[in-house]
Chains A and B, each alone.
Chain A
Amino acid sequence: MDMIVTLLMIFLLVTAFFMVFTKQTANAVIAFPIFGSILVVLFVIFQAPSVAMAEAVITAGLATGFFVITFNKTKDSRKE
């Protein structure tokens, strides 16, 4: 169990750093749901199913949608 938590934590950090330091915004936007999903798994391991469901639906689901729409709408100044 500790092994899994450690691995997931490391993945979480890697995804977060990737999101922040990647050059292209598209990569960051697509890494965001991965970040959310890892969090969901962590919440389930930490015995918080309600929080996990909310996180899955709101952060990893809808918020990603919001980001994708924003990304789509702002495509003409993406090259900067």
Chain B
Amino acid sequence: MELPFVVVTILFCLGIYTIITQKNLIKIVLGFTIVESSLILIFVLVSYQPGGTAPILDKAYHLVVDPIPQALALTSIVIGGSVTAVMLALVIKIQKRYRTLNVDKLRKLKG
């Protein structure tokens, strides 16, 4: 179980890095999906036990993985998909208004 968590850490940080440094708007949205996938991977890893079976009890199994994180993961997938769709719609809108996908070239809103 050591390696998966290292991978999750790297993916999470890679996603955050993409969001805060990349200039291309589509890349930024991709960064969001990477972070979200890493979170879902954490959900699945939390539920997993070595030797367990999937939580579908058509027979009596002696070791079953935890069903709760999987249900929560489904919820997060749907929420993440909706957020991604909204973001992409806004990206198209921004591109049509400003004719650019570069974050730096957008109107600098005074912070």
Contact = CB atoms under 8 A, between A and B. Distances in A.
A28 B48 CA distance: 30
Given A51-B40, A71-B26, A58 B81 contact: yes
Contacts, number: 128
Report the contact-size class of chain B (Cβ under 8 Å from the partner).
35 or more
A16 B78 contact: no
Interface residues of A, number: 41
Contacts of A5: 3-4
Interface in B59-111: 65, 70-71, 73-74, 77-78, 80-81, 84-85, 88, 91-92, 95-96, 99-102
Interface of A: 5-6, 9, 12-13, 16-17, 19-20, 25, 28-29, 32, 35-36, 39, 42-43, 46-51, 54-55, 58-59, 62-63, 66-67, 69-71, 73-74, 76-78, 80
